[in-house]
Structure 1
Amino acid sequence: MTAPLPLISLRSVCRTYRTDGVAVAAVRNVSFDIGQGEILAVMGPSGSGKSTLMNMIGLLDLPSEGAIYLEGANVAALSEDRRSVLRARSIGFVFQSYNLLARHNAIENVALPLVYCGVGRKERMERAERSLEAVGMLHRAHHFPRQLSGGEQQRVAIARALIASPLIVLADEPTGALDSRTGAEILALFAALNQTGQTIVMITHDPSIATQCRRTIRLHDGELVSDETQVPLLPKRSMAS
Protein backbone atom coordinates (compact mmCIF):
# COMPACT_ATOMS: atom_id res chain seq x y z
CA MET A 1 0.00 0.00 0.00
CA THR A 2 1.31 3.44 -0.92
CA ALA A 3 1.96 5.71 2.08
CA PRO A 4 -0.11 8.91 2.11
CA LEU A 5 1.62 12.09 1.03
CA PRO A 6 2.69 14.43 3.82
CA LEU A 7 0.50 17.49 4.17
CA ILE A 8 3.55 19.73 3.81
CA SER A 9 7.09 18.80 2.77
CA LEU A 10 10.17 21.01 2.93
CA ARG A 11 13.14 19.87 0.88
CA SER A 12 16.55 21.54 1.32
CA VAL A 13 14.84 24.88 1.90
CA CYS A 14 16.98 28.01 2.13
CA ARG A 15 15.88 31.63 2.46
CA THR A 16 18.41 34.41 1.91
CA TYR A 17 17.78 38.14 2.22
CA ARG A 18 19.98 40.96 1.03
CA THR A 19 20.53 43.87 3.42
CA ASP A 20 22.69 46.78 2.21
CA GLY A 21 24.14 44.48 -0.43
CA VAL A 22 25.02 41.76 2.10
CA ALA A 23 23.43 38.31 1.83
CA VAL A 24 21.92 37.07 5.09
CA ALA A 25 20.86 33.43 5.30
CA ALA A 26 17.76 33.26 7.52
CA VAL A 27 17.03 29.57 6.84
CA ARG A 28 19.64 27.08 5.68
CA ASN A 29 19.04 23.68 4.07
CA VAL A 30 15.99 22.69 6.14
CA SER A 31 14.07 19.50 5.32
CA PHE A 32 11.14 17.91 7.14
CA ASP A 33 7.55 16.77 6.64
CA ILE A 34 4.32 17.71 8.42
CA GLY A 35 1.69 14.98 8.45
CA GLN A 36 -2.08 15.36 8.58
CA GLY A 37 -3.30 15.66 12.17
CA GLU A 38 0.05 16.53 13.73
CA ILE A 39 0.54 19.11 16.47
CA LEU A 40 4.12 20.32 16.56
CA ALA A 41 6.26 23.17 17.81
CA VAL A 42 8.93 25.00 15.83
CA MET A 43 11.23 26.29 18.52
CA GLY A 44 14.29 28.52 18.62
CA PRO A 45 15.67 31.75 20.05
CA SER A 46 15.16 35.13 18.44
CA GLY A 47 16.92 35.21 15.09
CA SER A 48 16.88 31.43 14.66
CA GLY A 49 14.78 31.60 11.49
CA LYS A 50 11.52 30.25 12.88
CA SER A 51 9.41 33.22 11.73
CA THR A 52 10.94 33.05 8.26
CA LEU A 53 10.15 29.35 8.20
CA MET A 54 6.55 30.04 9.28
CA ASN A 55 6.14 32.58 6.46
CA MET A 56 7.25 29.98 3.93
CA ILE A 57 5.05 27.22 5.33
CA GLY A 58 2.18 29.73 5.32
CA LEU A 59 2.81 30.59 1.62
CA LEU A 60 3.60 34.21 2.52
CA ASP A 61 7.15 33.84 1.19
CA LEU A 62 9.03 31.50 -1.14
CA PRO A 63 12.38 29.80 -0.56
CA SER A 64 15.47 31.11 -2.29
CA GLU A 65 16.52 27.50 -2.82
CA GLY A 66 14.86 24.14 -2.31
CA ALA A 67 11.15 23.41 -2.53
CA ILE A 68 8.00 23.37 -0.42
CA TYR A 69 5.17 21.00 -1.34
CA LEU A 70 1.57 21.31 -0.16
CA GLU A 71 -0.23 17.99 -0.65
CA GLY A 72 2.39 17.10 -3.25
CA ALA A 73 2.19 20.35 -5.26
CA ASN A 74 5.30 22.54 -5.50
CA VAL A 75 4.00 25.92 -4.32
CA ALA A 76 6.76 27.82 -6.13
CA ALA A 77 5.37 26.55 -9.44
CA LEU A 78 2.03 28.26 -8.78
CA SER A 79 1.19 31.80 -9.81
CA GLU A 80 1.01 34.46 -7.12
CA ASP A 81 -2.78 34.64 -7.51
CA ARG A 82 -3.09 30.86 -7.13
CA ARG A 83 -0.89 30.91 -4.03
CA SER A 84 -3.08 33.65 -2.54
CA VAL A 85 -6.23 31.59 -3.11
CA LEU A 86 -4.55 28.46 -1.74
CA ARG A 87 -3.35 30.39 1.35
CA ALA A 88 -6.85 31.75 2.03
CA ARG A 89 -8.40 28.30 1.80
CA SER A 90 -5.67 26.11 3.27
CA ILE A 91 -3.81 28.09 5.94
CA GLY A 92 -5.22 29.56 9.16
CA PHE A 93 -3.06 32.07 11.03
CA VAL A 94 -3.06 32.93 14.75
CA PHE A 95 -0.79 35.72 15.97
CA GLN A 96 0.51 36.86 19.34
CA SER A 97 -1.15 40.27 18.91
CA TYR A 98 -4.49 38.74 17.75
CA ASN A 99 -4.70 41.08 14.70
CA LEU A 100 -8.44 41.68 15.09
CA LEU A 101 -9.97 44.68 13.31
CA ALA A 102 -11.03 47.22 15.94
CA ARG A 103 -14.06 48.50 14.00
CA HIS A 104 -15.56 45.05 13.51
CA ASN A 105 -17.20 42.90 16.14
CA ALA A 106 -16.17 39.32 16.86
CA ILE A 107 -18.41 37.60 14.35
CA GLU A 108 -17.43 40.05 11.59
CA ASN A 109 -13.73 39.45 12.33
CA VAL A 110 -14.23 35.70 12.20
CA ALA A 111 -16.20 35.84 8.93
CA LEU A 112 -13.69 38.07 7.13
CA PRO A 113 -11.50 35.32 5.56
CA LEU A 114 -14.55 33.93 3.75
CA VAL A 115 -14.89 37.22 1.86
CA TYR A 116 -11.67 36.32 0.04
CA CYS A 117 -13.03 32.84 -0.66
CA GLY A 118 -16.09 34.28 -2.43
CA VAL A 119 -18.61 33.05 0.17
CA GLY A 120 -21.92 34.97 0.43
CA ARG A 121 -22.79 36.98 3.53
CA LYS A 122 -25.50 34.65 4.86
CA GLU A 123 -23.23 31.60 4.72
CA ARG A 124 -20.32 33.64 6.13
CA MET A 125 -22.34 34.57 9.21
CA GLU A 126 -23.63 31.03 9.71
CA ARG A 127 -20.15 29.56 9.50
CA ALA A 128 -18.74 32.30 11.75
CA GLU A 129 -21.34 31.45 14.40
CA ARG A 130 -20.34 27.79 14.27
CA SER A 131 -16.66 28.69 14.48
CA LEU A 132 -17.23 30.98 17.49
CA GLU A 133 -19.30 28.29 19.17
CA ALA A 134 -16.47 25.80 18.70
CA VAL A 135 -14.12 27.99 20.75
CA GLY A 136 -16.71 28.95 23.38
CA MET A 137 -17.18 32.54 22.19
CA LEU A 138 -20.62 32.59 20.55
CA HIS A 139 -22.01 34.57 23.51
CA ARG A 140 -19.53 37.37 22.67
CA ALA A 141 -20.24 37.41 18.93
CA HIS A 142 -21.36 41.05 18.83
CA HIS A 143 -18.68 42.48 21.13
CA PHE A 144 -15.81 44.51 19.73
CA PRO A 145 -12.15 43.67 20.43
CA ARG A 146 -11.84 46.48 22.99
CA GLN A 147 -14.64 44.83 24.97
CA LEU A 148 -12.86 41.47 25.13
CA SER A 149 -10.08 40.22 27.36
CA GLY A 150 -6.80 39.05 25.84
CA GLY A 151 -7.82 35.42 26.12
CA GLU A 152 -11.19 36.14 24.54
CA GLN A 153 -9.54 38.00 21.67
CA GLN A 154 -7.22 35.06 21.06
CA ARG A 155 -10.19 32.67 21.02
CA VAL A 156 -11.84 34.89 18.41
CA ALA A 157 -8.58 34.88 16.43
CA ILE A 158 -8.52 31.06 16.59
CA ALA A 159 -12.15 30.95 15.40
CA ARG A 160 -11.14 33.18 12.48
CA ALA A 161 -8.24 30.84 11.65
CA LEU A 162 -10.65 27.88 11.56
CA ILE A 163 -13.44 29.51 9.55
CA ALA A 164 -12.32 28.23 6.14
CA SER A 165 -11.63 24.68 7.44
CA PRO A 166 -7.90 25.04 6.73
CA LEU A 167 -5.51 22.16 6.18
CA ILE A 168 -3.16 23.64 8.75
CA VAL A 169 -3.24 26.28 11.49
CA LEU A 170 -0.02 28.26 12.07
CA ALA A 171 0.16 29.89 15.51
CA ASP A 172 2.96 32.43 16.03
CA GLU A 173 3.69 32.80 19.79
CA PRO A 174 -0.06 32.39 20.48
CA THR A 175 0.27 32.79 24.27
CA GLY A 176 2.99 35.45 24.28
CA ALA A 177 0.66 38.33 25.24
CA LEU A 178 -1.32 36.33 27.83
CA ASP A 179 -0.89 35.56 31.52
CA SER A 180 0.07 31.99 32.40
CA ARG A 181 -3.43 30.82 33.32
CA THR A 182 -5.05 32.22 30.16
CA GLY A 183 -2.15 30.92 28.10
CA ALA A 184 -2.75 27.43 29.48
CA GLU A 185 -6.43 27.69 28.48
CA ILE A 186 -5.47 28.65 24.92
CA LEU A 187 -3.01 25.75 24.70
CA ALA A 188 -5.73 23.39 25.96
CA LEU A 189 -7.98 24.73 23.19
CA PHE A 190 -5.32 23.95 20.57
CA ALA A 191 -4.97 20.43 22.02
CA ALA A 192 -8.74 19.92 21.80
CA LEU A 193 -8.76 21.14 18.19
CA ASN A 194 -5.95 18.73 17.37
CA GLN A 195 -7.99 15.88 18.84
CA THR A 196 -10.58 16.59 16.14
CA GLY A 197 -7.88 16.07 13.48
CA GLN A 198 -6.76 19.67 12.94
CA THR A 199 -3.09 20.01 11.99
CA ILE A 200 -1.39 22.68 14.13
CA VAL A 201 2.10 24.19 14.05
CA MET A 202 3.09 26.52 16.89
CA ILE A 203 6.05 28.88 16.48
CA THR A 204 7.60 29.59 19.87
CA HIS A 205 10.70 30.27 21.93
CA ASP A 206 8.98 28.91 25.07
CA PRO A 207 10.07 25.36 26.09
CA SER A 208 6.86 24.90 28.11
CA ILE A 209 4.81 25.18 24.91
CA ALA A 210 7.07 22.75 23.07
CA THR A 211 6.61 20.10 25.77
CA GLN A 212 2.86 20.25 25.19
CA CYS A 213 3.18 19.20 21.54
CA ARG A 214 3.81 15.72 20.21
CA ARG A 215 6.78 16.86 18.16
CA THR A 216 9.37 19.64 18.44
CA ILE A 217 11.55 20.97 15.65
CA ARG A 218 14.43 23.13 16.89
CA LEU A 219 16.22 25.75 14.82
CA HIS A 220 19.48 27.55 15.51
CA ASP A 221 21.05 30.13 13.20
CA GLY A 222 18.64 29.08 10.48
CA GLU A 223 19.54 25.39 10.63
CA LEU A 224 17.44 22.46 11.83
CA VAL A 225 19.32 21.04 14.82
CA SER A 226 16.76 18.51 16.11
CA ASP A 227 13.41 16.91 15.29
CA GLU A 228 12.04 15.02 18.28
CA THR A 229 8.77 13.38 19.25
CA GLN A 230 7.48 13.24 22.81
CA VAL A 231 4.38 12.56 24.85
CA PRO A 232 2.60 15.94 25.29
CA LEU A 233 2.05 17.11 28.85
CA LEU A 234 -1.17 19.00 28.14
CA PRO A 235 -4.30 17.41 29.65
CA LYS A 236 -7.35 16.85 27.43
CA ARG A 237 -10.02 19.53 27.72
CA SER A 238 -13.09 20.48 25.74
CA MET A 239 -12.82 23.24 23.14
CA ALA A 240 -15.46 25.36 24.82
CA SER A 241 -13.94 25.11 28.32
Structure 2
Amino acid sequence: MHERTNDKPSLPRGAGQHLLIAAGDPSTAELLSTTLELAGYRTHTTPSGTEAVSRLTEHRFDLVVLDLAIPDLDDLGRERRPVAHRPPVLFLTQYDSLGKLLPELGLGEQDYVTKPFRIAEVLARAQVLLRGRKPVRRDGEPSYRDLVLDDPACQALRAGRPLNLTPAEYRLLRYLLVNAHKVLSKEQIGRYVWGDFHGDNAIEQLVSRLRRKVDREGGDPLIHTRRGFGYWLGTPSRQEH
Protein backbone atom coordinates (compact mmCIF):
# COMPACT_ATOMS: atom_id res chain seq x y z
CA MET A 1 0.00 0.00 0.00
CA HIS A 2 1.14 3.50 -0.73
CA GLU A 3 1.40 5.82 2.24
CA ARG A 4 -0.99 8.75 1.96
CA THR A 5 0.40 12.20 2.39
CA ASN A 6 -1.19 15.60 2.85
CA ASP A 7 1.84 17.45 1.56
CA LYS A 8 0.89 19.88 -1.20
CA PRO A 9 3.32 20.72 -3.99
CA SER A 10 5.08 23.99 -3.31
CA LEU A 11 4.06 26.97 -5.43
CA PRO A 12 6.56 28.48 -7.88
CA ARG A 13 8.78 31.13 -6.30
CA GLY A 14 10.64 34.13 -7.59
CA ALA A 15 14.22 35.18 -6.96
CA GLY A 16 13.84 38.87 -6.23
CA GLN A 17 12.78 39.91 -9.74
CA HIS A 18 11.13 43.31 -10.19
CA LEU A 19 7.51 43.02 -11.34
CA LEU A 20 5.35 45.93 -12.49
CA ILE A 21 1.67 45.31 -11.69
CA ALA A 22 -0.70 47.49 -13.71
CA ALA A 23 -4.22 47.12 -12.29
CA GLY A 24 -6.89 49.75 -11.82
CA ASP A 25 -8.88 47.83 -9.20
CA PRO A 26 -7.20 48.43 -5.80
CA SER A 27 -8.25 45.03 -4.42
CA THR A 28 -6.78 43.23 -7.44
CA ALA A 29 -3.57 45.25 -7.20
CA GLU A 30 -3.26 44.52 -3.47
CA LEU A 31 -3.93 40.80 -3.90
CA LEU A 32 -1.32 40.48 -6.65
CA SER A 33 1.25 42.63 -4.87
CA THR A 34 0.90 40.84 -1.53
CA THR A 35 0.98 37.31 -2.88
CA LEU A 36 3.79 37.95 -5.37
CA GLU A 37 5.89 39.61 -2.64
CA LEU A 38 5.34 36.58 -0.41
CA ALA A 39 6.41 34.39 -3.34
CA GLY A 40 9.80 36.12 -3.54
CA TYR A 41 9.22 38.89 -6.08
CA ARG A 42 9.58 42.64 -5.61
CA THR A 43 6.48 44.39 -6.85
CA HIS A 44 5.64 47.90 -8.00
CA THR A 45 2.04 48.87 -8.74
CA THR A 46 0.44 51.43 -11.00
CA PRO A 47 -3.29 52.16 -11.49
CA SER A 48 -3.23 53.16 -15.20
CA GLY A 49 -1.77 52.10 -18.50
CA THR A 50 -0.28 55.50 -19.25
CA GLU A 51 1.58 55.49 -15.92
CA ALA A 52 2.75 51.94 -16.63
CA VAL A 53 4.41 53.10 -19.85
CA SER A 54 5.95 56.02 -17.94
CA ARG A 55 7.39 53.67 -15.32
CA LEU A 56 8.85 51.47 -18.06
CA THR A 57 10.67 54.44 -19.59
CA GLU A 58 12.25 55.24 -16.21
CA HIS A 59 13.05 51.80 -14.76
CA ARG A 60 13.87 48.28 -15.84
CA PHE A 61 11.45 45.50 -14.89
CA ASP A 62 11.69 41.75 -15.28
CA LEU A 63 7.98 41.25 -15.97
CA VAL A 64 4.79 43.30 -16.40
CA VAL A 65 1.51 41.91 -15.04
CA LEU A 66 -1.18 43.85 -16.92
CA ASP A 67 -4.89 43.67 -16.09
CA LEU A 68 -6.75 44.45 -19.32
CA ALA A 69 -9.53 46.04 -17.25
CA ILE A 70 -7.15 48.90 -16.47
CA PRO A 71 -8.38 52.46 -17.18
CA ASP A 72 -7.14 54.19 -20.36
CA LEU A 73 -6.38 50.86 -22.03
CA ASP A 74 -7.55 52.23 -25.38
CA ASP A 75 -5.02 55.07 -25.09
CA LEU A 76 -2.11 52.69 -24.72
CA GLY A 77 -1.96 51.98 -28.43
CA ARG A 78 -1.26 55.66 -29.07
CA GLU A 79 1.67 55.82 -26.63
CA ARG A 80 4.93 56.13 -28.53
CA ARG A 81 7.42 56.90 -25.77
CA PRO A 82 10.63 54.88 -26.15
CA VAL A 83 11.00 51.91 -23.83
CA ALA A 84 14.62 50.77 -23.77
CA HIS A 85 13.97 47.48 -21.98
CA ARG A 86 10.86 45.56 -23.01
CA PRO A 87 10.06 42.86 -20.45
CA PRO A 88 7.70 39.95 -21.04
CA VAL A 89 4.04 40.64 -20.28
CA LEU A 90 1.51 38.52 -18.42
CA PHE A 91 -2.03 39.65 -19.27
CA LEU A 92 -5.02 39.19 -16.99
CA THR A 93 -8.11 39.17 -19.18
CA GLN A 94 -11.65 38.02 -19.63
CA TYR A 95 -11.81 35.29 -22.24
CA ASP A 96 -13.79 37.48 -24.65
CA SER A 97 -11.11 40.23 -24.43
CA LEU A 98 -8.16 38.23 -25.77
CA GLY A 99 -8.28 40.19 -29.01
CA LYS A 100 -7.25 43.35 -27.13
CA LEU A 101 -3.79 42.07 -26.20
CA LEU A 102 -1.45 44.94 -26.99
CA PRO A 103 2.18 44.78 -28.11
CA GLU A 104 3.12 48.24 -26.86
CA LEU A 105 4.31 47.12 -23.43
CA GLY A 106 6.35 44.17 -24.65
CA LEU A 107 7.18 43.05 -28.13
CA GLY A 108 8.78 39.92 -26.74
CA GLU A 109 7.28 37.06 -24.79
CA GLN A 110 3.66 37.24 -23.72
CA ASP A 111 1.19 35.00 -21.95
CA TYR A 112 -2.21 35.41 -20.36
CA VAL A 113 -4.38 34.20 -17.50
CA THR A 114 -8.14 34.43 -17.80
CA LYS A 115 -10.23 36.00 -15.05
CA PRO A 116 -11.29 35.20 -12.44
CA PHE A 117 -7.70 34.10 -12.03
CA ARG A 118 -6.11 31.74 -9.53
CA ILE A 119 -2.91 32.94 -7.85
CA ALA A 120 -1.29 29.54 -8.42
CA GLU A 121 -1.74 29.98 -12.17
CA VAL A 122 -0.37 33.54 -12.09
CA LEU A 123 2.73 32.27 -10.27
CA ALA A 124 3.19 29.40 -12.70
CA ARG A 125 2.82 31.62 -15.80
CA ALA A 126 5.17 34.23 -14.35
CA GLN A 127 7.80 31.58 -13.66
CA VAL A 128 7.61 30.33 -17.26
CA LEU A 129 8.00 33.84 -18.69
CA LEU A 130 10.97 34.54 -16.41
CA ARG A 131 12.69 31.18 -16.91
CA GLY A 132 16.27 31.57 -18.06
CA ARG A 133 16.25 35.35 -17.63
CA LYS A 134 18.79 37.01 -15.36
CA PRO A 135 17.03 39.38 -12.91
CA VAL A 136 17.61 43.05 -13.66
CA ARG A 137 19.59 45.08 -11.14
CA ARG A 138 18.67 48.67 -10.40
CA ASP A 139 21.38 51.33 -10.31
CA GLY A 140 22.70 51.72 -6.77
CA GLU A 141 21.01 48.54 -5.53
CA PRO A 142 23.54 46.78 -3.27
CA SER A 143 23.79 43.08 -4.09
CA TYR A 144 26.10 40.09 -3.87
CA ARG A 145 25.23 36.95 -5.80
CA ASP A 146 21.65 36.06 -4.69
CA LEU A 147 21.71 38.52 -1.77
CA VAL A 148 20.01 41.85 -2.53
CA LEU A 149 19.24 44.92 -0.42
CA ASP A 150 16.21 47.06 -1.20
CA ASP A 151 17.20 50.26 0.61
CA PRO A 152 13.93 52.22 0.05
CA ALA A 153 12.01 49.35 1.68
CA CYS A 154 14.77 48.56 4.23
CA GLN A 155 14.45 44.94 3.16
CA ALA A 156 17.02 42.26 2.46
CA LEU A 157 16.37 39.22 0.29
CA ARG A 158 18.34 36.08 -0.40
CA ALA A 159 17.25 34.01 -3.39
CA GLY A 160 14.11 36.11 -3.35
CA ARG A 161 13.23 35.30 0.27
CA PRO A 162 12.79 38.20 2.72
CA LEU A 163 15.21 37.92 5.65
CA ASN A 164 13.14 39.99 8.12
CA LEU A 165 16.10 41.77 9.72
CA THR A 166 16.08 44.14 12.67
CA PRO A 167 17.39 47.68 12.00
CA ALA A 168 20.78 46.81 13.57
CA GLU A 169 21.02 43.59 11.55
CA TYR A 170 20.16 45.46 8.35
CA ARG A 171 22.82 48.12 8.98
CA LEU A 172 25.40 45.43 9.70
CA LEU A 173 24.50 43.46 6.57
CA ARG A 174 24.70 46.58 4.42
CA TYR A 175 28.11 47.48 5.88
CA LEU A 176 29.43 43.98 5.20
CA LEU A 177 27.93 43.89 1.71
CA VAL A 178 29.28 47.22 0.43
CA ASN A 179 32.68 46.13 1.81
CA ALA A 180 32.49 42.60 0.39
CA HIS A 181 35.71 40.56 0.78
CA LYS A 182 37.12 43.09 3.25
CA VAL A 183 37.64 42.12 6.89
CA LEU A 184 35.90 44.60 9.20
CA SER A 185 36.96 44.86 12.82
CA LYS A 186 34.53 44.73 15.72
CA GLU A 187 35.25 48.38 16.47
CA GLN A 188 34.46 49.40 12.89
CA ILE A 189 31.23 47.42 12.99
CA GLY A 190 30.16 48.82 16.34
CA ARG A 191 30.72 52.42 15.29
CA TYR A 192 28.86 51.91 12.00
CA VAL A 193 25.88 50.06 13.49
CA TRP A 194 25.40 51.96 16.77
CA GLY A 195 27.64 55.03 16.50
CA ASP A 196 29.96 53.75 19.24
CA PHE A 197 31.67 50.55 20.33
CA HIS A 198 29.33 48.22 22.26
CA GLY A 199 31.91 45.60 23.21
CA ASP A 200 32.92 42.23 21.81
CA ASN A 201 29.95 40.28 23.16
CA ALA A 202 27.34 42.57 21.61
CA ILE A 203 29.05 42.40 18.21
CA GLU A 204 29.38 38.62 18.35
CA GLN A 205 25.70 38.19 19.20
CA LEU A 206 24.63 40.55 16.40
CA VAL A 207 26.79 38.78 13.82
CA SER A 208 25.53 35.39 15.01
CA ARG A 209 21.87 36.42 14.60
CA LEU A 210 22.53 37.89 11.16
CA ARG A 211 24.48 34.83 10.02
CA ARG A 212 21.60 32.51 10.98
CA LYS A 213 19.16 34.56 8.89
CA VAL A 214 21.39 35.06 5.85
CA ASP A 215 22.80 31.54 5.62
CA ARG A 216 19.89 29.43 6.87
CA GLU A 217 18.28 28.96 3.42
CA GLY A 218 21.15 26.88 2.09
CA GLY A 219 23.59 27.79 -0.63
CA ASP A 220 27.09 29.03 0.05
CA PRO A 221 27.65 30.63 3.49
CA LEU A 222 28.31 34.33 2.97
CA ILE A 223 29.29 35.67 6.43
CA HIS A 224 32.63 34.55 7.82
CA THR A 225 34.89 35.13 10.82
CA ARG A 226 38.59 35.97 10.57
CA ARG A 227 39.64 35.10 14.11
CA GLY A 228 41.44 37.91 15.86
CA PHE A 229 40.59 40.38 13.10
CA GLY A 230 36.85 40.60 12.46
CA TYR A 231 34.19 39.56 9.97
CA TRP A 232 33.71 39.63 6.21
CA LEU A 233 31.08 38.84 3.61
CA GLY A 234 31.74 36.87 0.46
CA THR A 235 32.80 33.45 -0.78
CA PRO A 236 36.00 31.87 0.57
CA SER A 237 37.46 31.38 -2.89
CA ARG A 238 37.43 35.14 -3.40
CA GLN A 239 38.91 36.09 -0.03
CA GLU A 240 42.39 37.49 -0.40
CA HIS A 241 45.02 36.42 2.09
Quick check: TM above 0.5?
no
Bigger radius of gyration among the two: 2
The structure showing larger relative contact order (alpha-carbon pairs under 8 Å, at least 6 residues apart) is: 1
Using the size of structure 2 for normalisation, the TM-score is 0.25
- Report which of the two has the higher share of strand: 1
Q: So what's the TM-score if we normalise by structure 1?
A: 0.25
